[in-house]
């Protein structure tokens, strides 16, 4: 009978070690895919540069759709606004009342239901004003109160700011788009998700101090903007009530 050759123990140990090393190499190759492959590359940048790039992209874009909440002091505003350099159109909800804002150039119009005007203190004219655009006088307090919601540059410069030390917090997704997340002070200073696809626009912002969450979309997509015609407007006068 022919004897069966046996591999010495030390050789078997060496072969096993080689096999494990090869398996580890294969697994690393399969599971270690570059999360930034095929992206715009901002995910590989330091967080300060990511924030700088996204601010520049937001400033350069002519249009944006902004939606979410903004908390200022004791007031919470829910916004759904389309903004451009020459004006804006959309809705604002505050203190249980919803109203629409329309700005064309320097002209600001407000449209609300009867309940809004009653809460603002004008019960007598509520039925006349409901559903109509009311031109807001520029010298009126209401103009100064609401104009900021319609100014793209003002909103972007005020909102897209993270506080504290910046850091990246992994790859995420917003609306089906891959993002890189930047945090301020470990998240306490806010978080910002930046698109890894195409232009590095900001897509989602969680403001510091629980001051609201906003999403940004339709960057650079134009939308129609025109003053309402006479049948849609009511001349309130020189001073508007505000709630």
Contact 187, 163 (CB under 8 A): no
**How far apart (Å, rounded) are the C-alpha atoms in residues 150 and 82?**
8
Q: What does the domain layout of the chain look like in residue ranges?
A: 42-223
**How far apart (Å, rounded) are the C-alpha atoms in residues 202 and 187?**
16
Tokens of 62: 């002519």
The confidence score (pLDDT) of residue 116 equals 80
The confidence score (pLDDT) of residue 26 equals 39
**How far apart (Å, rounded) are the C-alpha atoms in residues 90 and 102?**
7
**Backbone phi, then psi, for 47, in 5-degree steps?**
-55, -35
The confidence score (pLDDT) of residue 242 equals 55
Tokens of 4: 């069966």
Closest C-alpha among 179, 234, 187 to residue 209: 187
| pLDDT tens over the chain, length 243 residues | 444 445 455 444 544 544 444 444 433 344 568 888 999 999 999 999 999 999 999 999 999 999 999 998 888 999 999 999 899 999 999 888 889 999 999 999 999 888 888 777 666 667 778 888 999 988 888 899 899 999 999 889 888 889 999 999 999 999 999 999 999 999 999 999 999 999 999 999 999 999 999 999 999 999 999 999 888 888 766 555 555
The confidence score (pLDDT) of residue 117 equals 80
The confidence score (pLDDT) of residue 54 equals 96
The fold adopted by the segment(s) 42-223 is outer membrane lipoprotein receptor (LolB), chain A (2.50.20)
**How far apart (Å, rounded) are the C-alpha atoms in residues 102 and 150?**
8
The confidence score (pLDDT) of residue 19 equals 47
**How far apart (Å, rounded) are the C-alpha atoms in residues 149 and 88?**
9
Map tokens 């022919």 to a residue: 2
pTM over 0.85: no
The confidence score (pLDDT) of residue 81 equals 97
DSSP three-state, residue 229 = coil
The residues facing 71 across adjacent strands are 76
């Amino acid at each position: 009978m022919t004897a069966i050759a046996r591999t010495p123990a030390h050789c078997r140990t060496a072969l096993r070690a080689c096999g494990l090393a090869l398996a580890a190499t294969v697994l690393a190759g399969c599971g270690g895919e570059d999360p930034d492959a095929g992206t715009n590359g901002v995910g590989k940048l330091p967080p300060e540069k990511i924030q700088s790039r996204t601010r520049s992209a937001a400033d350069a874009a002519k249009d944006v759709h902004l939606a979410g909440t903004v908390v200022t002091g004791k007031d919470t505003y829910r916004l759904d606004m389309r903004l451009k350099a020459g004006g804006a159109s959309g809705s604002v909800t505050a203190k249980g009342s919803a109203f629409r804002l329309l700005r064309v150039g320097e002209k600001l119009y407000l449209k609300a239901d009867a309940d809004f005007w009653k809460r603002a203190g004008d019960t007598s004219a509520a039925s006349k004003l409901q559903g109509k655009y009311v031109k807001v006088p520029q010298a009126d307090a209401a103009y100064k109160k609401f104009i900021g919601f319609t100014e793209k540059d003002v909103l972007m410069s005020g909102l897209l700011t993270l506080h504290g030390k910046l850091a990246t917090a992994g790859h995420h997704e917003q609306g089906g788009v891959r993002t890189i997340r930047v945090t301020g002070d470990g998240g306490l200073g806010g978080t910002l998700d930046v698109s890894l696809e195409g232009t590095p626009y900001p897509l989602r912002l969680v403001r510091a101090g629980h001051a609201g969450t906003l999403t940004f979309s339709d960057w650079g997509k134009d939308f129609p903007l025109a003053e309402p015609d006479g049948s849609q407007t009511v001349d309130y006068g020189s001073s508007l009530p505000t709630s």
